[in-house]
């Protein structure tokens, strides 16, 4: 039984039961995204932004053999202090970690799984994974994309992580019928910046329009998620040329060191942070705040339609 593995916080459970808006949040950003106490402060602030915009936050993690949907402040503090000692848990890892009662921080893919199991349809994160550069040789493609193809959760993000191959990721998404919506933009944001050179599938002017699209998609039994690309605020974005130079340098070093697989993304993000003197991390935090706000607003509109 699913209930044997699912532990939904009472506040979140009541909100779901009463059809109140809920926003799922991942926990990898807490354990692997930044140092303590900045990670804890950021996680708590993200939850407060969700509340301030009329929804209930549900940060998700694996703790003591359970998928916890909605964490206490003490649990967030535990993840934040433990840092990279906490295992990154994607779809592949869930059965093993739960069976062994090993604590895990959820990625985009596993957060989507948990949100879907709990009945939460809107999820806010930083950026999604995708097709890695050089994937024609490495076949390195994030599990996030297959989860988006199969799991009915909308993901509010600042686009695809800029360290990836944006063009190939968009082709992959098209193949699996995953809509890429741009919130008040026609251009796909590239995580740290509003600029990428690529187009979204549809520009959406309002949260009510997005909610109506989500309802229509799932009413038609078209399985899978939707990407809602929300550009980082202009005044908070990283300079495009600085970002590109840093990413190119990071990619060269990654190849020289032979770093591959699940170690690739954290290495590249860490290296870009180092090469930009921390500016990329500041931008990362700001875009997560921006996404949390939009996700709460969409959740409110979506719940009006399903009353």
Tell me, letter by letter, the H, E, C secondary structure of 275-298: HCCCHHHHHHHHHHHHHHHHHHHH
34-53 average pLDDT score:
96
| Model pLDDT, residue 78 | 98
Residue 254's Cβ-side half-sphere holds a number of Cα atoms within 13 Å equal to 25
- Greater pLDDT, 261 or 28: 28
Poorest-confidence range of 144-148, 218-222, 278-282?
Answer: 278-282
| Model pLDDT, residue 306 | 76
The predicted-structure confidence for 178-232, as pLDDT tens digits, reads as follows 999 999 999 999 989 999 999 999 999 999 999 999 999 999 999 999 999 999 9
137-147 average pLDDT score:
89
Token pair of 92 as six digits: 């592949």
Name the nearest CA neighbour of 26 among 77, 52, 60, 74.
60
Residue 60 has pLDDT above 90, yes or no: yes
| Model pLDDT, residue 162 | 87
**DSSP-assigned beta bridge partners for residue 22:** 56
Residue 278 has pLDDT above 90, yes or no: no
| Model pLDDT, residue 266 | 81
Poorest-confidence range of 108-117, 197-206, 235-244, 286-295?
Answer: 235-244
First to last CA, the chain: 28
Token pair of 147 as six digits: 């989860």
- Greater pLDDT, 302 or 239: 302
Query: Where does the pLDDT of residue 97 fall: very low under 50, low under 70, confident under 90, or very high at 90 and above?
Result: very high
Token pair of 56 as six digits: 């209930």
Average pLDDT, the chain: 94
Highest mean pLDDT among 81-95, 134-148, 239-253: 81-95
Residue 1 has pLDDT above 80, yes or no: no
Contact (CB, 8 A) for 12 and 56: yes
What distance in Å separates the CA atoms of residue 111 and residue 107, rounded to the nearest whole number? Answer: 6
DSSP 249: H
What residue ranges do the domains of the chain occupy? 2-305
Residue 135 has pLDDT above 80, yes or no: no
155-173 average pLDDT score:
94
The CATH architecture one would assign to domain 2-305 is 3-Layer(aba) Sandwich (3.40)
What distance in Å separates the CA atoms of residue 306 and residue 295, rounded to the nearest whole number? Answer: 16
What distance in Å separates the CA atoms of residue 89 and residue 107, rounded to the nearest whole number? Answer: 6
Query: Where does the pLDDT of residue 175 fall: very low under 50, low under 70, confident under 90, or very high at 90 and above?
Result: very high
Cα Rg, the chain, nearest whole Å: 18
Q: Could you please report the per-residue DSSP string of 120-164?
A: --EEE-S-B--BPTTHHHH--B-HHHHHHHH---EEEESBB-TTS
Name the nearest CA neighbour of 243 among 201, 203, 212, 287.
287
| Model pLDDT, residue 307 | 60
Residue 258 has pLDDT above 90, yes or no: no
Length of the chain, in residues: 307
Poorest-confidence range of 123-127, 280-284, 286-290?
Answer: 280-284
Query: Where does the pLDDT of residue 149 fall: very low under 50, low under 70, confident under 90, or very high at 90 and above?
Result: very high
Residues annotated catalytic, as ranges: 26, 161
Query: Where does the pLDDT of residue 18 fall: very low under 50, low under 70, confident under 90, or very high at 90 and above?
Result: very high
What distance in Å separates the CA atoms of residue 195 and residue 240, rounded to the nearest whole number? Answer: 7
Beta strands in the chain (DSSP E): 6-8, 22-25, 56-63, 66-69, 87-89, 104-106, 122-124, 154-157, 180-183, 202-204, 226-229
Query: Where does the pLDDT of residue 136 fall: very low under 50, low under 70, confident under 90, or very high at 90 and above?
Result: confident
Q: Which residue has the tokens 């848990």?
A: 89
141-153 average pLDDT score:
96
246-265 average pLDDT score:
84
- Greater pLDDT, 273 or 55: 55
Name the nearest CA neighbour of 230 among 187, 177, 298, 183.
183
What distance in Å separates the CA atoms of residue 80 and residue 265, rounded to the nearest whole number? Answer: 19
């Amino acid at each position: 039984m699913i209930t044997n593995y699912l532990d939904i916080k009472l506040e979140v459970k009541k909100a779901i039961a009463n059809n109140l808006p809920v926003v799922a949040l991942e926990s990898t950003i807490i354990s692997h995204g930044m140092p303590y106490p900045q990670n804890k402060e950021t996680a708590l602030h993200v939850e407060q932004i969700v509340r301030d915009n009329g929804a209930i936050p549900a940060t998700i993690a694996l703790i003591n053999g359970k998928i916890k949907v909605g964490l206490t402040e003490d649990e967030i503090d535990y993840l934040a202090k433990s840092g990279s000692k906490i295992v990154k848990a994607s779809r592949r890892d869930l059965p093993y970690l739960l069976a062994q009662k090993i604590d895990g921080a959820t990625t985009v893919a596993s957060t989507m799984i948990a949100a879907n199991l709990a009945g939460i349809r809107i999820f806010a994160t930083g950026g999604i994974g995708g097709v890695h550069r050089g994937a024609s040789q490495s076949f390195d493609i994030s599990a996030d994309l297959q989860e988006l193809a199969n799991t009915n959760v909308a993901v509010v993000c600042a686009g695809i992580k800029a360290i990836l191959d944006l063009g190939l990721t968009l082709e992959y998404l098209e193949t699996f019928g995953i809509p890429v919506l741009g919130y008040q933009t026609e251009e796909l944001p590239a995580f740290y910046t509003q600029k990428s050179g690529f187009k979204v599938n549809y520009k959406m002017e309002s949260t009510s329009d997005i909610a109506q699209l989500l309802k229509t998609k799932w009413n038609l039994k078209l399985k899978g998620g939707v990407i809602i690309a929300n550009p980082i605020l202009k005044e908070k974005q990283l300079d495009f040329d600085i970002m590109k130079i840093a990413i190119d340098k990071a990619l060269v070093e990654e190849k020289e060191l032979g770093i591959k697989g699940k170690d690739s993304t954290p290495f590249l993000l860490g290296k870009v942070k180092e090469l930009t003197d921390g500016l990329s991390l500041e931008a990362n935090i700001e875009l997560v705040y921006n996404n949390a706000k939009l996700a709460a607003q969409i959740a409110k509109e979506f719940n009006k339609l399903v009353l």
